[in-house]
Amino acid sequence: MFPVTRMRRLRMNPVLREILQETEVNLNDLIYPLFVDENIKEKKEISSMPGVYRYPLGDLPKISKDLESLGIKSVLLFGIPKCKDETASSAYEENGVIQKAIRTIKDESGILVIADLCMCEYTSHGHCGIVDNGIIVNDRTLEIYGKIALSYAKAGVDVVAPSGMMDGQVGAIRRALDSEGFEYIPIMAYSAKFASSFYSPFREAADSSPKFGDRKTYQMNYANAREAMREIDLDIKEGADIIMVKPSIFYLDIIRMARERFDLPIAAYNVSGEYSMVKFASMNGAIDEISAVKEILTSIKRAGADLIITYHALDYAKWNKKV
Ligand code: PBG
């Protein structure tokens, strides 16, 4: 008989288990995505994401105070504008939906406002860049990203988060911000963003589905890990302050690889489809929501993420209050 190594010795007592836990999820680490819709007067639930809403601008003072009192420190803003066109001009209007949302939340609360920076919610074709003859054109898109970044900065944003996956976007945005004195606004770059089927509930939420084709000429092939490291490396060289891996649950290996190679803070985006899976499975009694969410968020941290963007943040904060 082999001598038995008693690993279970440290698992017998619940307090011992608790004090020996290696990874802890802190509410400070969670970023709550917020959809702001210029076209509505009352909040509207997103049918593919139970418990997640589009909010009218008028609801933001109350929402931001509610989030703050629950202990949520930061939000990631997405806008649904009144008008869409070929060049996303409503994304950089002084009084566009996001610009108004930024001002309101900053006026009413101490919440850190991160704004997603992309064109797909603002273009009639639903792509994340300028379209010419069916091609998503890179460098002309960068000029627009620069304009969006500046308009967010002028509205008082705390952090910008470019998600369009155009080459050179981080550098272009850094230059645009610096050229007008916004050198202290950090860039949280969606660096390793994969073309994923888990974004579809978001596209309902943000009304941002591409009207033709898909996003595979700019978002990454989910089969590629080394390429993800190149994307992250480039974003860092261009001036990213925080790097991101997206989605999260099925990309823990990418988070871990990034953690081992880079010393910047890493954010992981626990995306809409990942949220919906848990929500619908628990609504149907297949799994227990609270323990599943805790397991998922802990796993993402264990893999090496510092920050987690998650639609579960609100529920998580409420569960935290109760205990
Ligand atoms: C915009 C953007 C998307 C998401 C975040 N920013 C959609 C997409 O790339 O199609 C997805 C977020 C989610 O699924 O929760 N480019």
Q: What is the pLDDT of residues 240-278, one digit of tens each?
A: 999 999 999 999 999 999 999 999 999 999 999 999 999
- 3 state DSSP class of 34: strand
182: amino acid identity, one letter: F
CA 305 to chain centre: 13
Q: Quick: pLDDT tens for 108-123.
A: 999 999 999 999 999 9
pLDDT score for 192: 98
Mean pLDDT for 178-183 is 98
Protein residue with its CA nearest to atom 5 in ligand 1: 163
pTM more than 0.95 = yes
Local confidence band at 323 (pLDDT 50, 70, 90 cut-offs)? low
Mean pLDDT of 55-80: 98
The pLDDT score that the predictor gives to residue 165 is 97
CA of 110 to the centre of ligand 1 (A): 26
What are the tens digits of pLDDT across the range 118-161? 999 999 999 999 999 999 999 999 999 999 999 999 999 999 99
Among the four given CATH numbers 3.40.920.10, 3.40.50.720, 3.50.50.60, 3.20.20.70, the one describing domain 24-243: 3.20.20.70
Cβ neighbours for 126, distance < 8 A, ≥ 6 positions apart: 120, 208, 209, 210, 211
Residue 322 has pLDDT above 90, yes or no: no
Query: Using an 8 Å Cβ cutoff, are 88 and 123 in contact?
Result: yes
The CA distance from 169 to 162, in Å, is: 7
Phi first, then psi: give them for residue 49, nearest 5 degrees. -135, 75
Instruction: Report d(CA 297, CA 255) in Å as an integer.
Output: 13
Whether the CB-CB separation of 282 and 234 falls below 8 Å is answered with no
* Distance from Cα 166 to the centre of ligand 1, integer Å: 14
Query: Measured from the CB, is residue 116 less than 6 Å from ligand 1?
Result: yes
Residues classed as catalytic: 193, 246
Angle between helices 60-70 and 313-322 (to 10 degrees): 50
How large is the greatest C-alpha to C-alpha distance in the chain, in angstroms? 76
Domain ranges within the chain, ordered by starting residue:
24-243
Does residue 203 line the site of ligand 1, with CB under 6 A?
yes
User: Count of residues for the chain?
Assistant: 323
**What whole-number percentage of the chain has pLDDT above 70?**
100
